[in-house]
């Protein structure tokens, strides 16, 4: 039996590089609460992502929960169900009502032709997702937001380092959330960030993530605890040094998959968007009219010790905790792709021979 191939494998620096990075912590004994590594990573990320304002969090989900809270929204928020369940949970856990908009079949992001029909007097924001690192129709979303005075918060968990015509993805909307979870293109073990436009948001956002503390003897907000610690930040500093190489290696893997699977009847691939510099975060394949269906391919790969994942199936509006309240038939395009998708293993060190082996299993029928 061949060695287990997981859908992803975390990027890690050399052991010695990380040890060198954390040595200082044994001298300072400062392990969390905006320490030296935290500040260093923040500066490095502002520069890498090309954003003036960035706040770090202990994970991406809490980053999203806190940024939604910071905008003090009420009522309804328009979002899409073809995403990780975190996006929907962050809205609901803020006491807001998600209104599910369908996705477009070109790049699986929110269908901007359907947003306006969902807007009511209760709508206060749009929370779209840059699915697989594909950039949403940001111009159209900005137009709609301006017309109806809505906030726009992007779930950019998949889109670290992606650019559109040279502009970093964090530049769009009022704010963007990034996830630095171990499985993402760039990781801090667990971690996340919010990049945002309005300088004044900084104090509120960072205070909310630190118990609402605003001064030595003052607590102005009912906050929680979502701080990134020094060991996470040190991992980020190391990984950021190598992220461009990692993305280049991912690109080679993706190119091999495309070479083998492009043009096969019944297989639809995610196409790169014009003007977008991708980070090659995921390799989704849609089995539509192929000899066998998605679940059979999933099982055939598993039999050979290869783990592919159904991102995103089920839709978030179809999970047990939401099913009674929402109907996934209301978003038929999202439902259609959720039933057909399989994301294949993809990570920087995935051997091209293994890519061939995976493609052979898919194509041997
Ligand atoms: C990973 C992810 C999140 C949550 O990020 P964590 O860092 O794991 O908390 C949110 N949304 C999407 C689309 C994700 O893929």
CA atoms within 13 A on the CB side of 306: 22
Domain 15-238 falls under CATH 3.40.50.1950: no
Eight-state DSSP code of residue 200: T
CA 29 – ligand 1 centroid, Å: 30
What local confidence, expressed as pLDDT, does residue 251 receive?
98
Nearest atom within ligand 1 for CA of residue 192: 7
3-state secondary structure of 279: coil
| Ligand 1 pocket test, candidate residues 79, 85, 86, most atoms within 8 A of CB | 86
For the record, the structure tokens of 228 come out as: 């990134």
Residue 365 has pLDDT above 80, yes or no: no
| pTM exceeds 0.85, yes or no | yes
For the record, the structure tokens of 221 come out as: 């907000």
Q: Which alpha helices (DSSP H) does the chain contain, by range? A: 15-28, 36-49, 60-70, 85-92, 138-148, 201-208, 230-261, 294-303, 320-323, 332-338, 352-363
Report pLDDT digits (tens) over 238-257. Answer: 999 999 999 999 999 999 99
- Average pLDDT over the chain, rounded to whole? 97
If one counts every other C-beta atom within 10 angstroms of the C-beta of residue 87, the result is 24
Specify the residue for token string 């269908």: 111
Three-state SS sequence of 163-181: EECCEEHHHCCCEEEEECC
69-90: average pLDDT: 98
What local confidence, expressed as pLDDT, does residue 62 receive?
98
Closest CA to ligand 1's atom 10: 86
* Interatomic CA distance for residues 285 and 80, integer angstroms: 20
* Interatomic CA distance for residues 242 and 16, integer angstroms: 14
Give the residue among 107, 156, 163 at the shortest CA–CA distance from 278. 163
For the domain made up of 243-363, give the CATH fold: 3.90.1150
| Ligand 1 pocket test, candidate residues 7, 56, 59, 60, most atoms within 8 A of CB | 60
Confidence class for position 3, pLDDT limits 50, 70, 90? confident
Burial of 203 (0-12, 13-18, 19+ CB in 10 A): middle
Confidence class for position 2, pLDDT limits 50, 70, 90? confident
What local confidence, expressed as pLDDT, does residue 1 receive?
60
Eight-state DSSP code of residue 273: P
- For 50, left (φ over 0), alpha (ψ -120 to 50), or beta? left
- Distances from the Cα of 264 to the Cα of 48, 152, 197, 310, angstroms: 38, 38, 44, 20
Give the residue among 48, 53, 21, 51 at the shortest CA–CA distance from 37. 21
- Cβ atoms of 161 and 279 within 8 Å: the answer is yes
Q: Give CATH 3.90.1150.10 domain extents, the chain.
A: 243-363
For the record, the structure tokens of 244 come out as: 């461009």
Q: Give CATH 3.40.640.10 domain extents, the chain.
A: 15-238
């Amino acid at each position: 039996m061949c060695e287990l191939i997981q859908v992803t494998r975390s990027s890690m620096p050399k052991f010695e590089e990380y040890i060198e990075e954390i040595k200082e912590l044994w001298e300072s004994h400062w392990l969390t609460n905006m320490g030296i590594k935290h500040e260093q990573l923040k500066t490095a990320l502002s520069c890498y992502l090309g954003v003036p304002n960035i706040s770090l969090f202990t994970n991406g989900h809490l980053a999203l929960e806190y940024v939604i809270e910071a905008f003090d929204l009420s009522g309804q928020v328009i979002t899409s169900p073809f995403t990780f369940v975190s996006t929907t949970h962050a809205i609901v856990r803020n006491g807001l009502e998600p209104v599910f908009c369908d996705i477009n079949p070109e790049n699986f992001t929110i269908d901007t032709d359907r947003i306006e029909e969902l807007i009511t007097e209760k709508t206060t924001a749009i929370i779209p997702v840059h699915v697989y690192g594909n950039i949403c129709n940001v111009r159209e979303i900005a137009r709609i937001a301006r017309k109806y005075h809505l906030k726009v918060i992007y779930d950019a968990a998949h889109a670290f380092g992606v650019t559109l015509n040279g502009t970093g993805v964090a530049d769009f909307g009022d704010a963007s959330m990034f996830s630095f979870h171990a499985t993402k293109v760039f990781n801090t073990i667990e971690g996340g960030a919010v990049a945002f436009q309005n300088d004044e948001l900084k104090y509120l956002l960072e205070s909310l993530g630190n118990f609402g503390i605003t001064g030595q003897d003052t607590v102005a907000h009912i906050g929680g605890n979502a701080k990134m610690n020094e060991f996470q930040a040190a991992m980020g500093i190391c990984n950021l040094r190598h992220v461009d190489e990692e993305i280049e290696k991912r690109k080679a893997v993706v190119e091999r998959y495309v070479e083998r699977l492009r043009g096969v009847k019944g297989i639809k691939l995610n196409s790169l968007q014009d003007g977008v510099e991708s980070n090659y975060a995921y390799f989704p394949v849609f089995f539509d009219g192929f000899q066998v269906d998605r679940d059979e391919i999933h099982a055939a790969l598993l039999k050979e010790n290869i783990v592919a994942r159904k991102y995103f199936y089920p839709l978030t509006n179809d999970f047990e905790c939401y099913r009674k309240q929402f109907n996934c038939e209301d978003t038929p395009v999202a439902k259609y792709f959720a039933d057909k998708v399989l994301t294949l293993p993809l990570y920087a060190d995935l051997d091209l021979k293994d890519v061939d082996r995976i493609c052979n299993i898919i194509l041997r029928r």
